């Protein structure tokens, strides 16, 4: 019996991705609270062990572990997995000294970085309009940082490094998605992260209190739930439709940062973030225009 053709459901996809962004903002608030007490390796270890359990449970429903680990580009999968591990670690370091709104204003530059990395390393054609958007976006970063007017906050450069690592991870994900399916990419990322942190984590372990165990478990659950919602969103609608709604993470992070930590961004951060987001949205729009001009299959990862 033939399966019915897949029908896109943009409303469901958008609802799921916005829900995922709300969960990720909550996750980041929990991370900020835990980062004041526990080391980065310890938090990473707990997160990746639980995330590995989630990834295996999800992937093994579709095919055996041996097939999940069969990759046409295993070394790229390993590098991609190490990049996301380093990115999350850098985020934990940066969130100790920055508010949620500040760090996500800087992380909003990653789509612009993806454009630049893809142009230089993948030789993707980038027109003058998208290069202009990249330039304007980084002018927005300068507005946020206000160089020459006040000293840089600790963690700002680490936040920009976080955005760069996440951009590189996204570019590699784009490359490996041409050869491997999402189950393989998910399994590699989870198992390599868990394996690396199982070697490193014990050297930085501090036994959590019962309450903090609860927060660590909740942190792990939010990570798994957020990724599951993203996967389901991409099954419901094309990535090109969903991408603009990733910026709702900045809105949620600002609201939660105010409610939990009594932190509100100043006017310069709001203006700079607005410039960065507008540039990113324009870049996404130009990607969709270029994609509509060439007959390519809709590949979802």
Q: pLDDT digit string (tens) for 268-278?
A: 889 999 999 99
What is the predicted pLDDT for the residue at 112? Answer: 87
**How would residue 7 be classed by pLDDT, with cut points 50, 70 and 90?**
low
- State if pTM tops 0.85: yes
What is the predicted pLDDT for the residue at 294? Answer: 45
What is the predicted pLDDT for the residue at 6? Answer: 53
The per-residue pLDDT for range 132-175, each reduced to its tens digit, is 888 998 898 888 887 655 556 778 899 999 999 999 998 898 88
**How would residue 4 be classed by pLDDT, with cut points 50, 70 and 90?**
very low
Q: Which residues of 220-236 are buried (b: 16+ CB within 10 A; e: fewer)?
A: bebbbbbbebbbebbeb
Q: Which is higher by pLDDT, 27 or 240?
A: 27
Candidates 134, 101, 97; CA nearest to 115 is 134
**Domain range list for the chain:** 10-98+154-264
Q: Is the pLDDT assigned to residue 295 strictly greater than 70?
A: no
What is the predicted pLDDT for the residue at 103? Answer: 93
What is the predicted pLDDT for the residue at 2? Answer: 41
The per-residue pLDDT for range 19-64, each reduced to its tens digit, is 999 999 999 999 999 999 999 999 999 999 999 998 898 888 888 9
Average pLDDT value for the chain = 86
Return d(Cα 249, Cα 156) in angstroms, integer.
Answer: 19
The per-residue pLDDT for range 104-143, each reduced to its tens digit, is 999 988 888 888 888 887 777 778 888 888 899 889 888 8
Q: Is the pLDDT assigned to residue 79 strictly greater than 50?
A: yes
Q: Is the pLDDT assigned to residue 301 strictly greater than 80?
A: no
- How many residues does this entry show for the chain? 301
Return d(Cα 71, Cα 46) in angstroms, integer.
Answer: 26
Return d(Cα 219, Cα 23) in angstroms, integer.
Answer: 10
What is the predicted pLDDT for the residue at 148? Answer: 53
Are the C-beta atoms of 33 and 96 separated by less than 8 Å? no
**How would residue 297 be classed by pLDDT, with cut points 50, 70 and 90?**
very low
**How would residue 213 be classed by pLDDT, with cut points 50, 70 and 90?**
very high
């Amino acid at each position: 019996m033939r399966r019915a053709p897949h029908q896109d459901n943009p409303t469901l996809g958008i609802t799921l991705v916005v829900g995922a962004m709300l969960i990720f903002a909550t996750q980041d608030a929990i991370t900020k609270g835990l980062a004041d007490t526990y080391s980065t390796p310890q938090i990473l270890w707990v997160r990746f062990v639980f995330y590995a359990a989630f990834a295996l449970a999800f992937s093994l429903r579709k095919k055996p572990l041996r097939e999940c680990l069969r990759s046409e580009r295993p070394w790229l999968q390993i590098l991609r997995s190490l990049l996301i591990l380093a990115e999350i670690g850098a985020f934990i370091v940066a969130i100790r000294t920055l508010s949620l709104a500040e760090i996500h204003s800087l992380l909003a530059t990653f789509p612009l970085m993806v454009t630049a990395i893809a142009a230089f390393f993948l030789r993707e054609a980038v027109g003058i309009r998208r290069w202009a958007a990249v330039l304007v976006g980084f002018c927005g970063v300068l507005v946020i940082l206000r160089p020459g007017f006040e000293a840089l906050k600790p963690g700002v450069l680490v936040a920009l490094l976080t955005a760069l690592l996440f951009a590189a991870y996204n570019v590699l994900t784009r490359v490996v998605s041409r050869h491997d399916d999402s189950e393989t990419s998910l399994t590699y990322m989870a198992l390599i992260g868990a394996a690396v942190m199982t070697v490193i984590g014990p050297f930085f372990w501090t036994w959590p209190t019962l309450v903090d165990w609860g927060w660590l478990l909740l942190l792990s659950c939010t990570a798994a739930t957020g990724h599951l919602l993203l996967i389901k969103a991409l099954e419901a609608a094309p990535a090109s439709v969903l991408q603009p709604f990733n910026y709702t993470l900045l809105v949620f992070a600002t609201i939660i940062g105010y409610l939990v930590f009594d932190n509100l961004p100043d006017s310069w951060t709001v203006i700079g973030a607005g410039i960065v987001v507008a540039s990113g949205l324009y870049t996404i729009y130009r990607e969709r225009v270029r994609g509509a001009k060439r007959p390519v299959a809709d590949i979802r990862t």
